[in-house]
């Protein structure tokens, strides 16, 4: 698999799904590390 081509094709066909997975992963990491990601954000 070619990363560039896979990225482009995914953007064409399943962007919503890939974006959802990325956002979900980011949220999981944020909640897993509240002092790092979730801490400063609400205060700012």
Asked, for residue 30, whether it belongs to a domain, the answer is yes
Asked whether the beta carbons of 37 and 30 are under 8 A apart, the reply is: yes
Asked, for residue 9, whether it belongs to a domain, the answer is no
Asked, for residue 14, whether it belongs to a domain, the answer is no
The Cα–Cα gap between 32 and 44 comes to 19
pTM of the model: 0.31
Q: Once rounded to an integer, what is the mean pLDDT over residues 31-38?
A: 56
Residue 34 domain boundaries? 20-44
Asked, for residue 10, whether it belongs to a domain, the answer is no
- Cα distances (angstroms) measured from residue 42 to each of 1, 11, 24, 36, 37: 40, 31, 18, 12, 9
Predicted confidence band of residue 32 (pLDDT cuts 50, 70, 90)? low
Residue 28 has pLDDT above 60, yes or no: yes
Domain total in the chain = 1
Q: Once rounded to an integer, what is the mean pLDDT over residues 12-36?
A: 67
Asked, for residue 37, whether it belongs to a domain, the answer is yes
Asked, for residue 27, whether it belongs to a domain, the answer is yes
Quote the pLDDT of residue 44: 47
Asked whether the beta carbons of 38 and 30 are under 8 A apart, the reply is: yes
């Amino acid at each position: 698999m070619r990363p560039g081509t896979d990225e482009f094709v995914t953007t064409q066909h399943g962007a919503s799904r890939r974006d959802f997975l990325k956002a979900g992963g980011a949220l999981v990491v944020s909640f897993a590390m509240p002092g790092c990601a979730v801490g400063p954000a609400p205060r700012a």
